[in-house]
Every structure is written in C-alpha cells, then in structure tokens.
Structure 1
Amino acid sequence: MKRMDNIHAPTVPAGPSSRPLTNGNAKHLSFAELQSKKENLEAELKALGGVLDSHGVNMETPLTTPDGFPRADIDVAQIRTTRSRIIHLKNDYKDLMNIIEKHLHEHFLSIQEADDVGPTSTSNPAIFGDSIPATLEESFAKVNSIVPGSPAESAGLKPGDEIRNFGYVNKSNHDGLKKVAECVQGNEGQRILVKISRRTESSQRQELQLNLTPRRNWGGRGLLGCHILPL
C-alpha cells in the first residue's frame, strides 16, 4: 500500500463549483431567488454531510493509519472529494449570506427612508411609529437589561421588549441568538432595523420599529450595551 503524505489535502471536487456567486451575478437576483439558492445550498450540504456520516467520518476524521498509510476500512477518495465539495459550498454559502444580508439591509433602509418622510414622534426620533403590517414575525428574544448611555438605550430599547426582527434575523434563523451577534458585528456603525413588541401600562402590546447602531467607545462593554435572552 502506498503511503500518502498529503492525503488530507482536498481533491478537486467532481462537477462544477458554484463559485460564480462571488462574481457579483447573485447580487442582481431577487430576494426569492437568493432564498432559493440558499435552500439549495443547505440541502446539498446536508446531503454531503450524510455521505460523510455513512462512512462514519466527519471533516476532521484522520484518513491515514498511525504510520501514515491510507486507511483500508473507508473509501478515502470519495471522502476527500466530498470534503472538498463541502468546503466549496460552505464558502459559497458564506458569500450568499453576505449578499442576502446586504439585500435585506438595503430593503430596511428604504423602509426607514420612507418612514422618515411621514410624521414621526418628536419625543423619541428613533421610533418610527407603530404602524406595522398586520403580519408580524413571532418574537424570539427578550431584552433583559439596558446599560444607561448605551447604543441600545439611544435606540429606544427598554427591558422587557420582545424582539420580532433584528435586521435580517428572526425566529426561524436566529440559531440560539448567534445570528444576532453576527448581525451586530457585521453592521458596526450602521443602522439596524429592530422590530419589537412592548407591553404598555394598560397591558396592551405596542409594535415599534427602532434604529439601532452598534458602536464601540460608547463608555461600556460590547457594541450594544444590552443583554437579551432567547424566548
């Protein structure tokens, strides 16, 4: 059996790579088309993960014996090809999510600009009123605490507020609030549209849209100065 020193280096995957996502073509697709591409990538990644599972390996499993020879108990060539395809698709998925994030951010900005033309509250200019479409996303997080003087307080967030949307993040994709952290880090210094539901003194629900701008050097820790918990 021939010893292979570079067995863990991915092979060139069979079939065309979907790397054209990075050449800008996807930027001109509609949101529905972008979402369809996202779902297709997720489905293929899941299928490829199943291929690795069928061999009893993952992306880190050694493919050589302790003395450096290819393992005879697994299909090393297929595993290497599958791993390489997964790496390509994960890069494509990351590129696609960046495009989707920018698409949604621009969409939210256009909504905010339209709202700016209409009447707004003079007591809190960060709140764009409670005239929100009847179809609302289900809340996925709750504001636990706010630090005085923080970006969160400046935006108008209050403890007890329930978050329906945080930029492009909602109940279906927040991934244990990990996507909220990604959205914050990826939009430092930029406005993020946050849709919240707030209980008033009369126990009614008030639906609000707030502008939240993550920033450093506000005098406290983090980019927001608030603590939120998943619901």
Structure 2
Amino acid sequence: MGILMDDDIHAPTVASGPTSGGTAPRDLSKLSMIELMTEKDRIEAELSALSSVLGSHGVNMNSSLTTFDGYPRDDIDIAQVRTTRVRIIHLRNDHKEVMTNIEKGLHAHFASMQNAQTTTSTPNGTSVPSTTQLPSDTSVADAGRPFAKVNSVVPGSPADQAGLKAGDTIRSFGNVHWMNHERLSKVAEVVQQNEGRPLSVKVVRKDESGSGTTMELDLLLTPRRDWGGRGLLGCHLVPL
C-alpha cells in the first residue's frame, strides 16, 4: 500500500522573494539612513524571535520534518515550522537588500567627505590639495559605531591575554562590524571559523580616571580551546 504524503515537506509553500510582512514593498533606495537602520533592527529582532520559535520545536532551517521511513513527524507542529521557515527566508532576503542600501549610502557619504577634504580653496580662489585628505583605505567598518559591550572577562583567557577588559565596547571583530553583526551571531561564526588564528578586534575604552575621555585600541585576539576554561574566548559580549 502506497504512502500518501507531501512529496516535498521541506519546501516553502510560497515564493521566497523580498517581503514586507504582507504590505506593498517599499523602495528602500528612497529611505534615509536612520529609516534603513530602523528597518535593519526590526528585521533582526524578528529573525531572532523566529529562530527561537524553531528552537522551541527542537529544529532549525535544515532539520528533517519526516521520520526515517518517510512519515511526517508527530512530535512537532509541522505547519508552524514550515510557516516560520518561509518567513525566515523572506526576512533574510529583506535583510540582504537593506544592508546593500545601507552600504551604498555609507560609501556615498564617506566618498563625499573625502572629496570635500581633498581640496581647499586659497584666498585667490584656486584649489590646492588638502593635507587632511582621508586615507584611501578608510573603510565603512572602521568608521562605524560600537555594536557590543564586554560584560566580563575570565582571567587567563584568550580575551584577557589579548587585553580585553570588562566595559570595553567593540567597534569591529574580525570582519564583523555594526552593520552586519546580526545580534552578535556573526561574531560567533567568525570565532568558530578562526580557532587558532589571531583576529583584529577594535575596541573603545573609557579612561579609568573618570575624566570621561575614551581611547581606541587595536587588539589581537586568538580564539582557542586549550586555555582551561569554557568557550574559545573567555569573555561575555552583549549587543548594544
């Protein structure tokens, strides 16, 4: 007797193109940077919530929804899992489009700043090269804002040996910065992928004298397991 079942129980039931939660798609290129950042934060918050929904079922985006012999699993709400997966696919597409527009806007902003500082006018109206021209390797990440704070550092850990201190804020962690950290999930990925290899970590630290001034530091942090404690870093980061 044949088995009656959905031949492709994993497949989304609707197209996976960009969506805006059922409303008409907006022209992201016309949004301001503040609006784009607000949209980015909204999408990341919803993605985090939806990931928790999948986690509550004990599945992820790639978990099988059938038993070993091909029957639909009866230990999970398959309809909810499939709906959640479809929404996550849509939001990932939305997030990619938002990030593309944010990066375009930032590159345009810094390009205009560099052009403005490249030349200065002399009293007779001629232009001469400016000594304050931005370096050619100025990057969007370096010009970004802190996205995470160090809550604690375990003595003797890789983070401690690198010079990281509780209270430091992180501006970049390897190639992860304020535009792409996705609620620190990308930091975890970079750490896992670079075990035993030094990562550049740019931090902002407040002056301990209480003067209110800050300093920027470039640290080298090497994730490793053999330091005697839990995890690869030995520190706890929280998103800002």
Equivalent runs, 1:154-169 vs 2, <5 Å: 166=141, 169=144
Find the counterpart in structure 1 of residue 84 from structure 2: 82
CA–CA separation in structure 2 for the residues paired with 1:115 and 1:21: 42
Matched residue type, 1:57 = V
- Give the 3-state SS of the residue equivalent to 2:173 in structure 1: coil
Give CA deviations for 1:151-174 in whole Å, capped at 9, x if unaligned: xxxx588xxxxx996366554276
Unpaired runs of 5+ residues, structure 1, are: 122-126, 130-154, 158-162, 184-196, 198-205, 208-227
Identity %: 43
- Asked if 1:28 corresponds to 2:21, the answer is no
Matched residue type, 1:166 = A
CA RMSD of aligned residues (A): 4.1
Q: 1:112 deviation in Å? A: 0.8
Distance 1:75 1:19, change over 3 A: closer
Matched residue type, 1:113 = N
- Asked if 1:5 corresponds to 2:7, the answer is yes
Distance 1:22 1:168, change over 3 A: farther
CA–CA separation in structure 2 for the residues paired with 1:102 and 1:167: 16
TM-score (norm 1): 0.54
TM-score (norm 2): 0.52
Higher helix content, 1 or 2 = 1
- Give the 3-state SS of the residue equivalent to 1:8 in structure 2: coil
Q: Which has the higher contact order (CA 8 A, sep 6+)?
A: 1
Give CA deviations for 1:2-49 in whole Å, capped at 9, x if unaligned: 422210101239xx9328999771111111111110111011111111
Task: Give the total of aligned pairs.
Answer: 154
CA–CA separation in structure 2 for the residues paired with 1:21 and 1:114: 40
Unpaired runs of 5+ residues, structure 2, are: 121-128, 149-170, 181-203, 205-214, 223-240
Distance 1:73 1:44, change over 3 A: same
Find the counterpart in structure 2 of residue 176 from structure 1: 173
- Give the 3-state SS of the residue equivalent to 1:166 in structure 2: coil
